């Protein structure tokens, strides 16, 4: 037997044995394959989500407490030792009785150098801006305000000096204006002006004891 015939004989023998083994095994049905459950993989544990709040604030270095500056007090009323020398100086310059000047100051502003009326009159003697400009004074400066008011009062006294009630007319003109006094030939019949004249003359009788 040559090599080729021997190789063919061996292959035939192996094929015959394989067929016998496959016939001896029971056949596997498709239903068995379909019903056999596949092993499930175990679930992977997942950690629960923890809600995150806003991040904590960053620490801030405390600011040193700074002492606030003390408020500058506003003087609502000038004391007599301050205002009287201003009155005496202006009264002597314009030849007006100091008690009359102080009476106008008391009636107009109660010695408040910051007083401003609804009509715009300013300062101790309540000068209107045009009056202050006429006499060349700063109405916010107490001494200049008294200077301008006293000068204006001197003008009014000169205007009515020939009348017996010269002072009353001048005071009324300081309040209502000389035009009204001229129109009514005396103190105008306005309640405000008449009350003003009475108030100033009462102050005058009070102050003339000390100032003259």
Domain ranges of the chain: 80-154+195-207
State the distance between the two ends of the chain, measured CA to CA, in whole angstroms. 172
- pLDDT < 50 stretches in the chain: 10, 15, 18-19, 21-25, 28, 30-36, 38, 60-73
Distance in angstroms (rounded) separating the CA atoms of residues 173 and 197: 10
What's the token pair of residue 72?
Answer: 């500058």
Q: Torsions phi, psi of 112, nearest 5? A: -95, 110
- Rounded to whole angstroms, the Cα distance separating 195 from 172 reads 10
Helix 166-176 to helix 142-159 angle, to the nearest 10 degrees? 130
> Annotated active-site positions, please?
108
- Determine contact, residues 163/178, Cβ cutoff 8 Å: no
| Helix axes of 98-109 and 166-176: crossing angle, nearest 10 degrees | 30
pLDDT tens by residue, 12-45:
555 455 445 444 445 545 444 444 454 555 555 5
* pTM score of the predicted model: 0.65
Q: Tell me phi and psi for residue 211, to 5 degrees.
A: -105, -30
Topology of the domain covering 80-154+195-207: Lysozyme (1.10.530)
Quickly list DSSP for 17-55: HHHHHHHHSPPPPHHHHHHSPPPPPPPPP-PPPPPP-PP
pLDDT attached to residue 24: 47
107, 196 contact by CB (below 8 A): yes
């Amino acid at each position: 037997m040559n090599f080729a015939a021997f190789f063919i004989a061996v292959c035939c023998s192996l094929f015959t044995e394989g067929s016998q083994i496959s016939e001896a095994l029971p056949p596997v049905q498709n239903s068995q394959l379909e019903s056999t459950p596949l092993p499930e993989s175990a679930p992977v544990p997942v950690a629960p989500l923890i809600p995150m709040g806003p991040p904590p604030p960053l620490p801030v270095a405390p600011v040193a407490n700074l002492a606030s500056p003390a408020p500058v007090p506003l003087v609502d009323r000038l004391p007599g030792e301050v205002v009287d020398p201003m009155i005496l100086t202006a009264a002597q310059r314009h030849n007006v009785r100091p008690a009359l000047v102080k009476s106008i100051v008391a009636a107009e502003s109660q010695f408040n150098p910051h007083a401003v009326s609804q009509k715009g009159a300013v300062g101790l003697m309540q000068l209107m801006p045009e009056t202050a400009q006429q006499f060349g004074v700063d109405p916010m400066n107490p001494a200049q305000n008294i200077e301008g008011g006293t000068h204006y009062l001197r003008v009014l006294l000169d205007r009515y000096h020939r009348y017996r009630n010269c002072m009353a007319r001048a005071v009324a003109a300081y309040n209502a204006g000389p035009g009204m006094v001229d129109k009514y030939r005396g103190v105008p019949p306005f309640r405000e002006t008449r009350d003003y004249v009475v108030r100033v003359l009462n102050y005058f009788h009070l102050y003339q004891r000390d100032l003259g």
